[in-house]
Amino acid sequence: MKRLVFLFFFIFAAQNVRADEPNVLTAVSDVAQKTGPTVVSIKTEKTYRLRSQSGYFGNPYDDELFNQFFEDFFGGYSEPSQKAVGLGSGVIIDPQGYILTNDNVVDGADKITATLPDGRKFDAELVGVDSRSDLAVIKISAKEGESLPQIPVAQLGNSEDLKIGQWVVAIGNPFGNILDDPQPTVTSGVISALHRTLPQTSRFDTDYSDLIQTDAAINPGNSGGPLVNLKGEVIGINVAIFSTSGGYQGVGFAIPINYAKAIVEQLIQGKKIEYGFIGVSIQDIDERLAQYFDLTPGESVMVTKVLPGSPAEGAGIKEGDIIQTINKIKIRNAAGLVKQISNAVIGKTIQLQILRDNKTIELPVTVGQRTPQDSEVSKSVAAPQTKIDVTKAWRGLTVKEISPEMAKQMVLANTNGVAIAEIEKGSSGHISGLQKGDVIIGINKRPIRNLQDYNAAIQNASGSCLIRTVRGFFVLEP
């Protein structure tokens, strides 16, 4: 009886939806029919040169003089090669044949082939890529002397209106080049979270921040395909999955389409994508830091480092400053600040509201242009096993002086500070988030250059202490 009541209610609800709302019974299939024809399969070919490790072919020494010798006297030599084939997805965004996909799909490809769901195959040219956003645009063209036949085009939506729990559909076409049926694959789910940030990967300059998280299955090969709302509008570009096995485990990510729109427009125009830069390393304000500074968690970020010669240094920003707003826009976390700065116009002056020594100040900063060399990743460094005098434990921390040899092994600019040698499990030092190998360079805004400074600082320390390390700031409870 309960099943009949539920079925009646479900059918009644489906029949009484507003005209402008999707029908819950056919929503996914309607999206598949509307947007599916715009999702293409992308096949890439890349040639790798093979080098012999034994010296039987090629240049066994990989030496320029050796290369020149063979070129002059023997007309050069050939190295064997091997072709690698990659598969991915893309979505047609313009009737002239422009296709949006991921940079990781077409990166380094010698040949690109796009297959439409109706089976038509086209050679595609690379229009432009932006490795930082992991976006790329390719273009399909008609054969010489022919005009490009009519092709379907996806409708782009608005990713600013998304809500957690909203139904979405992920579409990909990873098999169009290898199966007789080139129809795309369709999966459905909900938006699990917004503004997600993924850890930095081996693609050093790629910034996976402010992503859409979904439980719609995004399997390998679907990268570059669209994430679509129930109106059939593209609201994201599928980019990654979180997996311990390489397969789907319920967590997928997509680049918001509003962010992609600005990138795509510049790539089509042949422009290089420029990102703003002010030259600071930052960290989120967690609950301990918020309590220490009497702040609300998630409503500001702390400056951990100011790069020499950067716009931030010129504007007077200092390490330990707390950035609260940019142009009166509230900054909730590090990812939000990076987004605001990256999207700022190069050469434009922005206003930062900063909390320093319990006082609010306004600082104007002129945005510079970011380069790959400006990327910084804060890391804790493992303390090398070097025999050296250590202190007695304080709040669970045992530290030691940094010798020139240790500084070299730990890749430190100098020997200032003390290194954490041991942390007692369960101590306040352990609970704070500090790690073995962290370098302490400040306690309660007092600089720590050596063991003498450290011992003097902890002698009269009471209550909660603000610990500054090379990796960032931590609060050490009594």
317-353: pLDDT as tens digits:
999 999 999 999 898 888 888 888 988 889 999 999 9
Both tokens assigned to 456: 């003097």
- Residue 385 falls inside a structural domain: no
Amino acid letter for position 291 = Q
3 state DSSP class of 445: coil
Q: How confident is the model at residue 383 (pLDDT cuts 50, 70, 90)?
A: very low
Q: Which segment of 50-59, 333-342, 432-441, 449-458 scores lowest on mean pLDDT? A: 50-59
Q: Are residues 100 and 197 in the same domain?
A: yes
Q: Are residues 283 and 261 in the same domain?
A: no
Q: How far apart are CA 453 and CA 300, in angstroms?
A: 30
Residue 27 · residue 168 · CB < 8 Å: no
Q: How confident is the model at residue 264 (pLDDT cuts 50, 70, 90)?
A: very high
At residue 360, the pLDDT reads: 93
At residue 6, the pLDDT reads: 44
Closest CA to 390 of 412, 420, 415: 420
- Average of per-residue pLDDT across 230-255: 79
- Residue 323 falls inside a structural domain: yes
Vertex 290: Cα angle to 289 and 291 (nearest 5): 90
Local structure of residue 8 (DSSP, 8 states): H
Residue 63 · residue 71 · CB < 8 Å: no
- Average of per-residue pLDDT across 266-275: 90
Q: Are residues 158 and 197 in the same domain?
A: yes
Q: Are residues 267 and 290 in the same domain?
A: no
Contacts for 401 with CB less than 8 Å, ≥ 6 apart: 388, 389, 415, 418, 419, 450, 451
Q: How far apart are CA 88 and CA 106, in angstroms?
A: 8
Closest CA to 105 of 121, 89, 117, 91: 89
- Residue 428 falls inside a structural domain: yes
Number of compact structural domains in the chain: 3
The burial class, CB within 10 Å (0-12 / 13-18 / 19+), for 2 is: exposed
Q: What pTM was computed for the model? A: 0.69
Q: Are residues 207 and 219 in the same domain?
A: yes
Tokens 């008609």 locate to 142
If one compares 388 and 457, the residue with the highest pLDDT of the two is 457
Residues making up the chain, counted from first to last: 478
Q: How far apart are CA 324 and CA 317, in angstroms?
A: 13
Contacts for 363 with CB less than 8 Å, ≥ 6 apart: 315, 316, 317, 351, 352, 354
Q: How confident is the model at residue 182 (pLDDT cuts 50, 70, 90)?
A: confident
Q: Which helix (H) or strand (E) holds 67?
A: helix 64-74
Q: Which of 215, 250, 273 is the last residue of a domain?
A: 273
**Beta-strand relationship, 98-101 and 39-49:** unpaired
Residue 87 · residue 124 · CB < 8 Å: no
Both tokens assigned to 177: 């080049």
Q: Are residues 93 and 128 in the same domain?
A: yes
- Residue 11 falls inside a structural domain: no
Q: Are residues 231 and 152 in the same domain?
A: yes
- Measured in degrees and rounded to the nearest 5, phi and psi for residue 34 equal -80, -50
Q: How confident is the model at residue 386 (pLDDT cuts 50, 70, 90)?
A: very low
- Average of per-residue pLDDT across 254-261: 93
* 232 Ramachandran zone, left/alpha/beta (phi>0; psi -120 to 50): left
Q: How far apart are CA 297 and CA 276, in angstroms?
A: 26
Structural domain of 217: 20-69+82-273
For the stretch 454-476, pLDDT in tens is: 888 888 788 888 988 888 899 88
* Cα-based distances in Å from 243 to 168, 174, 203, 249, 449: 20, 18, 18, 6, 43
- Residue 384 falls inside a structural domain: no
Both tokens assigned to 235: 């609201």
- Average of per-residue pLDDT across 198-211: 69
Q: Are residues 103 and 129 in the same domain?
A: yes
- Residue 389 falls inside a structural domain: no
Q: Are residues 343 and 262 in the same domain?
A: no
3 state DSSP class of 85: strand
Q: How far apart are CA 129 and CA 239, in angstroms?
A: 14
Q: Which segment of 127-136, 198-207, 378-387 scores lowest on mean pLDDT? A: 378-387
Local structure of residue 394 (DSSP, 8 states): B
- Average of per-residue pLDDT across 152-175: 93
Q: Which of 374, 407, 431 is the last residue of a domain?
A: 374
Q: Are residues 123 and 163 in the same domain?
A: yes
Q: Are residues 250 and 203 in the same domain?
A: yes
Given a cut of 80, whether residue 81 has pLDDT beyond it is no
Beta-carbon neighbour count of residue 424 at 10 Å? 13
Local structure of residue 425 (DSSP, 8 states): T
- CATH code for position 40: 2.40.10.120
Residue 281 · residue 320 · CB < 8 Å: no
- Residue 416 falls inside a structural domain: yes
At residue 53, the pLDDT reads: 46
* Cα-based distances in Å from 251 to 78, 222, 238, 244, 357: 46, 14, 12, 11, 42
Q: Which of 147-151, 179-183, 346-350, 425-429 has the highest mean pLDDT?
A: 346-350
- Average of per-residue pLDDT across 172-198: 82
Q: Which of 273, 291, 316 is the last residue of a domain?
A: 273
- CATH code for position 331: 2.30.42.10
Q: How confident is the model at residue 205 (pLDDT cuts 50, 70, 90)?
A: low
| Beta bridge mates, 364 | 351
If one compares 196 and 250, the residue with the highest pLDDT of the two is 196
Q: Are residues 239 and 137 in the same domain?
A: yes
- Residue 10 falls inside a structural domain: no
Q: How far apart are CA 159 and CA 137, in angstroms?
A: 20
Please give the full DSSP string across 123-171, using - where no structure is assigned: EEEEEEEETTTTEEEEEE-PPTTSPPPP---PEE--GGG--TT-EEEEE
Given a cut of 50, whether residue 387 has pLDDT beyond it is no
